[in-house]
């Protein structure tokens, strides 16, 4: 619940029921509570209330007489009558009668228990109780009397409980003894969309317990005394409620109540010789005089309510033997009746259906006072193929509902059945006496008149959802009614057509809605006597599919609430489906399985499953004239779907009238959640109705908020120590009413009535603060000037000129106080707002220019006298300078027909006037007086007072202040179509000539002069019809020369672009002179165009080389394109002129990009490679490497494309230089480079020497091996290893304790690279041992021996220094890992069968023994080597085992299956001839034995396709 305007209930609060005018004496208290908001609500919702002193009023005064509460209060001043008054609708008189009769009579007054006394759900205030006020808001009185919690019936002032019952909040009277608000079990709140007041579950439905009925039914069956005396009713099973409330029990009794909860009678056959079983189906006749009941044993009873002790008719079940004999039809003994209903308005015409799929029509008439029933089977078949049921006189099972043992269950199933009830008006379909029957697969509609006939079938379409379990299904009719006539004021009554009967049915989760109507056609009928055919009109029942909807769960029950809305019950929700909107409009959490199921007791005997039976609750919910009756397991409840007015009144009665206004507004704009019941369908009428109520709600709310009692206690003044701060309360009232007025588009109440109330009570600042939000959000544009004046003055008084400016921007100019706004803007320098006031309020478009020109004059004076002490400080001038610059965007907007600063289009007349005035003033030749006429002042521009004014003073002043900005604004203005008119105040040509005249005076700086020339040059080709023909070529030539002669490099690109524009309209005559001028000016883009057009390749190439602004990558692309074009124009040779230019430019090109230069030279002038390398300085080896690597190294993706790579255009010294530089800068890539280069491109001996000189030993070894010298390579590797090992030993044995980690790491990396190169070389030799004469074992021996020697060398030179030990350990670990890696590689080579590992190991040990570096630790090293070898073998063995297992599991099994299939062989077709030559397959010669070998020419081939042929034929 909203915290806005919710008033605490307690001492000093206002009376509840008096304030709502819900008491019997409305006139007595009219003047008692002038400021009572709820009293205003009564006046609002009771415009047409009639006198309420009727019979029911008198009954309400009795202590024992109480009315049904909530939405069903029945008096003329009751809740529903108030809603009718709100809606101006007197419809649904019959529903009103239901409410009127729903009252209980209890002559005794019950005394509340202690718990009930303090429970708000049990407490009911007296009729003088005051409205509920939330205690957290405040008490609106300065005195605080204590309230009593004891209810009283006296007429003295009485205060209500802080938490009244839900019923007292909705109706003026209720009885604790008769009605009880339901607990939250089974019901929960439904969330509302954002932005809409939160609506709880009680705001969707109003639920009330029928306590008289509940107490009688649910207490009677549990009473032991009742059981002993035989007066027990039993457990409730089914419910019927249409005119009366009928409850059937499992004892076969029917309790009948009226809507006053008075027990009318109990229908029960006291003289029955045997029990008829529980009531499982119940129906009440159309005139509420007869009750029909179906029982679990198959019995059907018809009771006349005047004689409830004896059934008027009894239809006993029959047996299969009787049915088989053809003597009688009817339900079989033990069949449970699941549906029963009266046909049309007859008392003795019934239809019934049982759980075995049989449906019957019973006509229970009498002939000569003797019962003569006529039973007609309309659906289903008897289970005659099963055992017969026993005789009914024989002993029965304990439960009559239990099916007879051994009898087969029928294969037919009826889920639901219902006859078409009579509506409020007759309809053609009524004459057919239609009955709807629902089976798991289809809906069948049968007509009983004129003859029984099936009119149509509607098949289920979701057959995929059908399972073996019995499907859940339900159906419900809504008969034809006559819609209410329109009674809107000013409109004639509209007679509506009767509605078409509706039939809703569901299978599982899917609900279908059908419109059932009569279709009439003319047919020829032949008279059998006369033989003549005559045309007759014949009617038939047909349907139209009106809608389909799928729920989230299985649908348990459907009941029509009205002609457009149906109640849908599922296991967890109660929903309202709207047919016209084809969606669910209301939904609450609801335990559908908590309703009573008549078949639940069958689960005890196993006759049906619990999951199927617990949802059989369709008989426990009924709707009658908008009232929802629910038969629960503990209570009987009745509920009503709340309408829009109900929800609004619920907020009103809580004291939260701001939420009430917001909710009403949401209905007005169509954003309210839920249903719109009670509102006209016509949008115009709907807005008219709701809009009137919004106005009345706002008026009543404001009057109550500012009532005399509330405004004199001081609690609204704020935190002053006297009470609670009420600021948020009054803020909410303004914002709520503002939103409502925006929706209504009517602000009279907001600005007249409401503001006056705030102003009268000296809290207008609250109103203005809240109003400002809507103004700034552009929701409210027009505010009365007196309020605007107060709003602006409020911020001015608070020294917030920024807020004043925002207000002026966002408000309609006609609402401003012009004098106030101008004074404040000038005082606080709010020039944006000042411009808005001048232009939008005064329609003066020159005054802003005058104001801002004055600021520019001040800035120019400051610049002139900046050296003097009297000049203002820079901090004081900064805001002036910034404000002065606003003249330029203002001119751009106003001369384009736009407002400033919002840039919204001006009106056509305003735009023309604005452009004319500004152009005339701005380009006038001398100083002007503004405003024109009397009182104007001369607008001066001279820096000194009395100084000489120049010609065109205002244009000159704008140019001198910032020429670029002014010309930018003027360039935008030139695009406006106003200047295309024949006689504007100033056209483009006049403006350009004035600018040229100002330039000619010499008063502008060179920069300003250049910008003027740029402006003219760019606009001449844009508007040739206005400028080009009128300006002489000599002037254009001067402008072009001026653009080229300006030495400012910052504007070079701007001047060049302007020159290009000008050259598109003007061609200079002295081209050589202009070419040189452009070259000096750096206009290379223009020169390139000229030279390319004339095919002057040399000068064109120079324009690229001399242009400093050209990016490097783009430069080389352009150079390549020029050189390629020049080659195509000449006989495939590059002109020498271009070669010389490239040669001279080599240093600068290499400096820009060595790689791109190399590619360019190699493509076009490869002879310049040596000169390019020589042109680099001595310290540019990195550039040389980049140059050569681009030509010889592997190409990279981002490099400039080159067709031939590596290049062969380089001389041999440059190739050798590349290898040398590669060894220096990237030694790790030398081997990949040698692999990439073709073998004939290098001098390999020189390359090997170079690698050795630069200590790239792995590359030298690799190069020797590539030349086919593996032994020499290994010998080199051994020598390199020994050399590097000795270097390590020398480092470790140095006297200094400081070991160079970098040197040790470098040597170890070299040793590793040598070792890995040797490994790869040995693997290569091992893979092709036939290519060499040297034994493979010797190669591996040399490599391992060299590595082991290195390890022994380092081991034998251990140092005792702690600082060196760590480095030695790292070196030994690295070398030992290398030895292990070598052994692993040896093991991994498949051709190592040529290597004997024992012999190899023996050789390594012997060689180590005779080595010069032999130490005492040699065998320790070999032990670790041997261990490593064994580990390698073990790991390889493990891998082989794993691989074997994988093969066994996968490959072997696959091959085994393939072999097994292959053994079976292929079967040839049964043909004895060859399929190719068509001759016999086997031809035996005479005398040839039957056995023996088969010659080649007699062999046959069988294919997998079954074809068979000779082997010799297949070759042909």
Q: Which range is least confidently modeled, 345-359, 839-853, 1017-1031, 1427-1441?
A: 1427-1441
Q: CA 1003, CA 998: separation in Å to the nearest integer?
A: 7
1071 burial class (0-12, 13-18, 19+ CB within 10 angstroms)? exposed
Whether the per-residue pLDDT at 629 is higher than 60: the answer is: yes
Q: What is the reported pLDDT for 64?
A: 34
Q: What is the reported pLDDT for 167?
A: 28
Between 195 and 1333, the more confident residue is 1333
Q: CA 399, CA 380: separation in Å to the nearest integer?
A: 25
User: In the predicted model, what is the mean pLDDT of residues 1301-1308?
Assistant: 77
Q: CA 1309, CA 1276: separation in Å to the nearest integer?
A: 17
Whether the per-residue pLDDT at 154 is higher than 80: the answer is: no
Query: Looking at the whole model, is its pTM more than 0.75?
Result: no
Closest CA to 287 of 341, 234, 347: 347
Q: Which range is least confidently modeled, 470-474, 663-667, 765-769?
A: 470-474
Sign of the CA dihedral 1116, 1122, 1123, 1124? Answer: positive
Whether the per-residue pLDDT at 869 is higher than 60: the answer is: no
Question: Which of the four pLDDT bands, split at 50, 70 and 90, describes residue 921?
Answer: very high
Between 126 and 380, the more confident residue is 380
Q: Are 1251 and 1244 in contact (CB under 8 A)?
A: no
Whether the per-residue pLDDT at 932 is higher than 90: the answer is: no
> pLDDT (tens digit, 9 = 90+) per residue, 768-817?
999 999 999 989 989 999 999 999 999 988 889 888 888 888 888 888 88
Q: Which range is least confidently modeled, 205-219, 1127-1141, 1355-1369?
A: 1355-1369
Between 109 and 863, the more confident residue is 863
Whether the per-residue pLDDT at 143 is higher than 70: the answer is: no
Question: Which of the four pLDDT bands, split at 50, 70 and 90, describes residue 337?
Answer: very high
Report whether the peptide linkage leading into residue 901 is cis, meaning its omega lies within 30 degrees of zero. Answer: yes
Q: What is the reported pLDDT for 1509?
A: 82
- Which stretch, 245-254, 1065-1074, 1403-1412, has highest mean pLDDT? 245-254
> pLDDT (tens digit, 9 = 90+) per residue, 1261-1287?
888 888 888 888 888 888 887 888 887
Closest CA to 994 of 1021, 967, 976: 967
Q: What is the reported pLDDT for 1330?
A: 61
Q: What is the reported pLDDT for 369?
A: 72
Q: What is the reported pLDDT for 1309?
A: 85
Residue 977 is given by DSSP the state: G
User: In the predicted model, what is the mean pLDDT of residues 849-875?
Assistant: 76
Count the Cβ atoms, other than its own, within 10 Å of residue 1224: 14
Whether the per-residue pLDDT at 648 is higher than 80: the answer is: yes
Q: Which range is least confidently modeled, 17-31, 1031-1045, 1245-1259?
A: 17-31
Closest CA to 943 of 931, 928, 961: 961
Q: What is the reported pLDDT for 391?
A: 38
135 burial class (0-12, 13-18, 19+ CB within 10 angstroms)? middle
Give every CB contact of residue 1093 below 8 A, 6+ residues apart in sequence.
Answer: none
User: In the predicted model, what is the mean pLDDT of residues 1081-1099?
Assistant: 89
User: In the predicted model, what is the mean pLDDT of residues 321-325?
Assistant: 88
Q: What is the reported pLDDT for 653?
A: 81
> pLDDT (tens digit, 9 = 90+) per residue, 257-274?
999 999 999 999 877 767
Q: What is the reported pLDDT for 568?
A: 96
Whether the per-residue pLDDT at 490 is higher than 80: the answer is: no
Q: CA 659, CA 665: separation in Å to the nearest integer?
A: 10
Whether the per-residue pLDDT at 62 is higher than 60: the answer is: no
Closest CA to 1407 of 1338, 1464, 1305: 1338
Q: Which range is least confidently modeled, 501-510, 858-867, 958-967, 1305-1314?
A: 858-867
Q: CA 167, CA 129: separation in Å to the nearest integer?
A: 13
Residue 998 phi/psi, 5-degree rounding, is: -65, -40
Q: CA 435, CA 444: separation in Å to the nearest integer?
A: 8
Residue 312 phi/psi, 5-degree rounding, is: -70, -35
> From the DSSP assignment, how many helices (H) and strands (E) are in the chain?
52, 37
Q: What is the reported pLDDT for 1112?
A: 86
> pLDDT (tens digit, 9 = 90+) per residue, 693-705?
999 999 988 888 8
Question: Which of the four pLDDT bands, split at 50, 70 and 90, describes residue 1014?
Answer: very high
Rounded alpha-carbon distances, angstroms, from residue 906 to 843, 900, 913, 914, 986: 11, 10, 10, 9, 20
Q: What is the reported pLDDT for 112?
A: 32
pLDDT, the chain, mean: 77
Question: Which of the four pLDDT bands, split at 50, 70 and 90, describes residue 1316?
Answer: confident
Q: CA 1432, CA 1345: separation in Å to the nearest integer?
A: 19
Count the Cβ atoms, other than its own, within 10 Å of residue 240: 27
Q: What is the reported pLDDT for 231?
A: 61
Q: What is the reported pLDDT for 16?
A: 35
Sign of the CA dihedral 1367, 1370, 1373, 1376? Answer: negative
Q: Are 17 and 38 in contact (CB under 8 A)?
A: no
678: left (phi over 0), alpha (psi -120 to 50) or beta: left
Closest CA to 312 of 249, 254, 365: 365
For the chain, percent of residues with pLDDT exceeding 70: 75
Between 187 and 1436, the more confident residue is 1436
Q: Which range is least confidently modeled, 623-627, 1130-1134, 1402-1406, 1464-1468?
A: 1464-1468
Between 1063 and 82, the more confident residue is 1063
Closest CA to 1165 of 1198, 1119, 1228, 1103: 1119
- Listing DSSP states for 89-108 in one string gives ----HHHHHHHHH-EEE-SS
Q: CA 810, CA 781: separation in Å to the nearest integer?
A: 7
Q: CA 516, CA 570: separation in Å to the nearest integer?
A: 26
Question: Which of the four pLDDT bands, split at 50, 70 and 90, describes residue 1260?
Answer: confident
Residue 1133 is given by DSSP the state: S
Whether the per-residue pLDDT at 1484 is higher than 50: the answer is: yes
Between 1424 and 627, the more confident residue is 627
SS3 558: strand
Whether the per-residue pLDDT at 349 is higher than 90: the answer is: yes
Question: Which of the four pLDDT bands, split at 50, 70 and 90, describes residue 1363?
Answer: low
Q: What is the reported pLDDT for 1210?
A: 87
Whether the per-residue pLDDT at 305 is higher than 50: the answer is: yes
For the chain, percent of residues with pLDDT exceeding 90: 30
User: In the predicted model, what is the mean pLDDT of residues 1495-1506?
Assistant: 70
User: In the predicted model, what is the mean pLDDT of residues 597-617?
Assistant: 84
Q: Are 714 and 721 in contact (CB under 8 A)?
A: no
Between 933 and 735, the more confident residue is 735
Q: What is the reported pLDDT for 415?
A: 94
> pLDDT (tens digit, 9 = 90+) per residue, 972-987?
999 998 888 877 778 8
Between 488 and 617, the more confident residue is 617
Q: What is the reported pLDDT for 286?
A: 92
Between 441 and 1426, the more confident residue is 441
CA 1121 from centre of chain? 53
Residue 1345 phi/psi, 5-degree rounding, is: -60, -40
Closest CA to 158 of 368, 282, 12, 274: 12
Q: Around 228, how many Cα atoms within 13 Å sit in the side-chain half-sphere?
A: 3
Whether the per-residue pLDDT at 196 is higher than 70: the answer is: no
Q: What is the reported pLDDT for 898?
A: 93
Closest CA to 1214 of 1148, 1161, 1139: 1161
User: In the predicted model, what is the mean pLDDT of residues 1171-1200?
Assistant: 80
Question: Which of the four pLDDT bands, split at 50, 70 and 90, describes residue 948?
Answer: confident
Q: What is the reported pLDDT for 513?
A: 96
């Amino acid at each position: 619940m909203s915290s806005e305007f919710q008033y605490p209930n307690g001492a000093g609060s206002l009376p509840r029921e008096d304030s709502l005018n819900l008491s019997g004496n409305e006139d007595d208290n009219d003047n008692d509570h002038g400021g009572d908001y709820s009293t205003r609500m009564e006046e609002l919702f009771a415009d047409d209330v009639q006198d309420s002193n009727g019979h029911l009023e008198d009954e309400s005064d009795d202590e024992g007489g109480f009315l049904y509460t909530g939405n069903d209060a029945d008096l003329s001043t009751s809740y529903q009558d108030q809603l009718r008054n709100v809606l101006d609708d007197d419809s649904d008189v019959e529903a009103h009668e239901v409410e009127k009769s729903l009252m209980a009579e209890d002559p005794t007054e019950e005394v509340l228990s202690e718990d009930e006394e303090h429970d708000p759900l049990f407490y009911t205030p007296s009729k003088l109780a005051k409205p509920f006020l939330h205690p957290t808001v405040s008490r609106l009185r300065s005195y605080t009397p204590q309230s009593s919690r004891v209810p009283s019936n006296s007429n003295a002032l009485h205060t209500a409980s802080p938490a009244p019952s839900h019923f007292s909040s909705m109706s003026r009277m209720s009885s604790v003894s008769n009605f009880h608000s339901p607990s939250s079990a089974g019901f929960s709140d439904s969330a509302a969309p954002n932005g809409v007041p939160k609506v709880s579950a009680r705001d969707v439905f109003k639920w009330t317990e029928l306590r008289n009925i509940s107490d009688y039914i649910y207490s009677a069956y549990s009473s032991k005394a009742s059981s002993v005396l035989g007066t027990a009713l039993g457990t409730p099973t089914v419910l019927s409620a249409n005119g009366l409330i009928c409850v059937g029990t499992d004892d076969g009794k029917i309790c009948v109540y009226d809507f006053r909860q008075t027990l009318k009678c109990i229908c029960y056959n006291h003289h029955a010789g045997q029990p008829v079983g529980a009531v499982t189906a119940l129906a009440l006749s159309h005139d509420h005089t007869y009750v029909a009941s179906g029982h679990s044993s198959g019995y059907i009873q018809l009771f006349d309510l005047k004689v409830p002790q004896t059934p008027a008719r009894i239809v006993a079940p029959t047996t299969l033997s009787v049915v088989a004999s053809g003597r009688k039809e009817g339900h079989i003994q033990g069949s449970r009746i699941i549906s029963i209903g009266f046909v049309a308005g007859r008392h003795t015409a019934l239809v019934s259906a049982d759980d075995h799929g049989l449906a019957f029509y019973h006509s229970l008439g009498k002939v000569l006072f003797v019962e003569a029933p006529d039973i007609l089977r309309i659906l289903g078949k008897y289970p005659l193929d099963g055992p017969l049921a026993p005789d009914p006189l024989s002993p029965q099972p304990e439960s009559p509902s239990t099916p007879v043992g051994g009898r087969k269950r029928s294969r037919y199933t009826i889920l639901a059945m219902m006859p078409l009830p009579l509506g409020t008006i007759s309809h053609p379909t009524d004459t057919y006496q239609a009955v709807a029957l629902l089976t798991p697969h289809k809906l069948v509609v049968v007509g009983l008149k004129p003859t029984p006939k099936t009119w149509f079938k509607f098949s289920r379409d979701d057959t995929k959802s059908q399972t073996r379990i019995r499907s859940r299904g339900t159906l419900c009719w809504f008969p034809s009614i006559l819609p209410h006539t329109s009674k809107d004021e000013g409109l004639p009554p509209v007679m509506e057509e009767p509605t078409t009967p509706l039939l809703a049915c569901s299978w599982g989760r899917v609900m279908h809605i059908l419109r059932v109507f009569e279709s009439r056609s003319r047919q020829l009928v032949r008279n059998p006597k006369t033989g003549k055919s005559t045309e007759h009109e014949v009617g038939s029942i047909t349907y139209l599919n009106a809608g389909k909807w799928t729920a989230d769960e299985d649908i348990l029950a459907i009941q029509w609430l009205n002609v457009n809305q149906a109640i849908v019950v599922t296991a967890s929700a109660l929903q309202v489906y709207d047919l016209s909107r084809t969606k669910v409009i209301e939904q609450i959490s609801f335990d559908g399985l908590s309703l009573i199921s008549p078949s639940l007791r069958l689960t005890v005997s196993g006759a049906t499953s619990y999951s199927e039976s617990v949802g059989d609750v369709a008989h426990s919910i009924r709707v009658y004239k908008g009232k929802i009756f629910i038969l629960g397991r503990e209570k009987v409840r009745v509920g009503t779907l709340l309408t829009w007015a109900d929800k609004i009144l619920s907020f009103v009665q809580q004291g939260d009238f701001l939420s009430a206004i917001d909710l009403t507004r949401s209905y007005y704009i169509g954003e309210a959640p839920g249903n719109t019941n009670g509102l006209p369908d016509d949008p115009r009428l709907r807005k008219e109705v709701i809009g009137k109520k919004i106005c009345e709600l706002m008026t009543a709310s404001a009057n109550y908020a500012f009532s005399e009692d509330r405004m004199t206690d001081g609690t609204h003044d704020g935190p002053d120590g006297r009470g609670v701060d009420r600021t948020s309360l009054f803020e909410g009232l303004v914002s709520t009413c503002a939103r409502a007025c925006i929706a209504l588009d009517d602000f009279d109440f907001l600005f007249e009535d409401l503001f006056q109330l705030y102003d009268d009570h000296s809290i207008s600042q609250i109103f203005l603060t809240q109003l400002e939000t809507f103004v700034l959000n552009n929701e409210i544009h027009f505010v009365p000037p007196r309020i605007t004046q107060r709003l602006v003055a409020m911020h001015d008084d608070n020294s917030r000129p920024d807020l004043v400016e925002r207000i002026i921007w966002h408000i309609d100019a006609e609402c401003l106080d012009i004098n106030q706004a101008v004074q404040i803007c000038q005082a606080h320098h709010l020039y944006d707002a000042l411009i808005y006031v001048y232009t939008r309020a005064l329609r003066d478009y020159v005054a802003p220019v005058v104001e801002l020109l004055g600021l520019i004059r001040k800035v120019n004076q400051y610049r002139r006298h900046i050296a003097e002490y009297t000049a203002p400080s820079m901090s004081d001038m900064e805001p002036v300078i910034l404000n002065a610059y606003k003249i330029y965007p203002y001119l751009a907007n106003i001369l384009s027909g736009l407002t400033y600063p919002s840039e919204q289009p001006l009106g056509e007349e305003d735009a023309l006037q604005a452009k004319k005035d500004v152009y005339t003033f701005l380009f006038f030749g001398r100083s002007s007086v503004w405003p024109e006429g009397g009182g104007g002042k001369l607008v001066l521009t001279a820096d000194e007072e009395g100084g000489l004014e120049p010609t065109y003073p205002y244009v000159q002043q704008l140019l001198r202040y910032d020429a670029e900005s002014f010309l930018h604004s003027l360039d935008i203005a030139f695009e406006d179509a106003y200047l295309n008119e024949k006689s504007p105040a100033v056209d483009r040509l006049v403006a350009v000539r004035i600018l040229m005249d100002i330039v000619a005076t010499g008063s502008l700086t060179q920069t300003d002069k250049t910008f003027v020339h740029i402006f003219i040059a760019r606009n001449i080709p844009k508007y040739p019809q206005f400028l080009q023909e009128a300006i002489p070529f000599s002037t254009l030539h001067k402008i072009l020369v001026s653009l080229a002669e300006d030495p400012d490099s910052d504007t070079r690109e701007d001047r060049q672009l302007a020159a290009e524009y000008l050259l598109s309209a003007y061609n200079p005559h002295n081209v050589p002179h202009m070419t040189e001028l452009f070259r000096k000016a750096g206009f290379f883009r223009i020169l390139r165009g000229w030279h390319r057009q004339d095919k002057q390749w040399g000068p064109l190439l120079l324009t690229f080389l001399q242009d400093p602004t050209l990016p490097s990558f783009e430069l080389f692309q352009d150079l390549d394109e020029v050189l390629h074009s020049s080659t195509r124009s000449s006989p495939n040779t590059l002109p020498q002129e271009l070669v010389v230019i490239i040669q001279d430019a080599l240093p600068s090109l290499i400096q820009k990009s060595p790689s791109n230069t190399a590619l360019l030279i190699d493509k076009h002038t490869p002879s310049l490679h040596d000169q390019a390398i020589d042109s680099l300085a001595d310290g540019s080896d990195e550039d040389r490497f980049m140059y050569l690597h681009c030509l010889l190294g592997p190409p990279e993706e981002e490099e400039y494309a080159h067709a031939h790579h590596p290049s062969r255009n380089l001389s041999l010294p440059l190739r050798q230089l590349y290898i040398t530089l590669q060894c220096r800068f990237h030694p790790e890539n030398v081997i990949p480079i040698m692999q990439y280069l073709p073998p004939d491109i290098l001098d390999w001996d020189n390359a090997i020497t170079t690698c050795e000189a630069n200590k790239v030993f792995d590359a030298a070894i690799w190069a020797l091996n590539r030349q086919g010298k593996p032994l020499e390579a290994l010998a080199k590797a051994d020598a390199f290893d020994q050399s590097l090992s000795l270097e390590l030993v020398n480092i470790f044995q140095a006297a200094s304790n400081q070991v160079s980690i970098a040197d040790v790491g470098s040597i170890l990396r070299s040793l590793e690279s040598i070792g890995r190169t040797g490994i790869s070389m040995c693997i290569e030799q091992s893979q092709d041992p036939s290519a060499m004469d040297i034994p493979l074992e010797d190669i591996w021996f040399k490599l391992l021996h060299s590595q082991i020697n290195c390890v022994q060398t380092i081991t034998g030179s251990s140092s005792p220094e702690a600082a060196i030990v760590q480095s030695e350990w790292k070196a030994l670990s690295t070398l030992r890992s290398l030895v292990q890696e070598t052994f692993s590689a040896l093991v991994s080579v498949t051709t190592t069968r040529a290597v004997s590992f024992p012999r190899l190991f023996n050789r390594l040990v012997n060689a180590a023994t005779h080595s010069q570096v032999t130490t005492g630790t040699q065998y320790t090293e070999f032990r670790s080597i041997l261990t490593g070898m064994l580990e390698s073998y073990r790991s390889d063995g493990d891998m082989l085992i794993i691989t074997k297992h994988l093969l066994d599991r996968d490959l072997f099994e696959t091959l085994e299956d393939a072999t097994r299939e292959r053994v079976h062989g292929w079967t040839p077709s049964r043909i004895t001839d060859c399929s190719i030559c068509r001759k016999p397959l086997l031809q035996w010669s005479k005398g040839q034995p039957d056995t023996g070998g088969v010659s080649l020419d007699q062999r046959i081939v069988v294919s997998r396709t079954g074809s068979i042929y000779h082997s010799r034929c297949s070759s042909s």
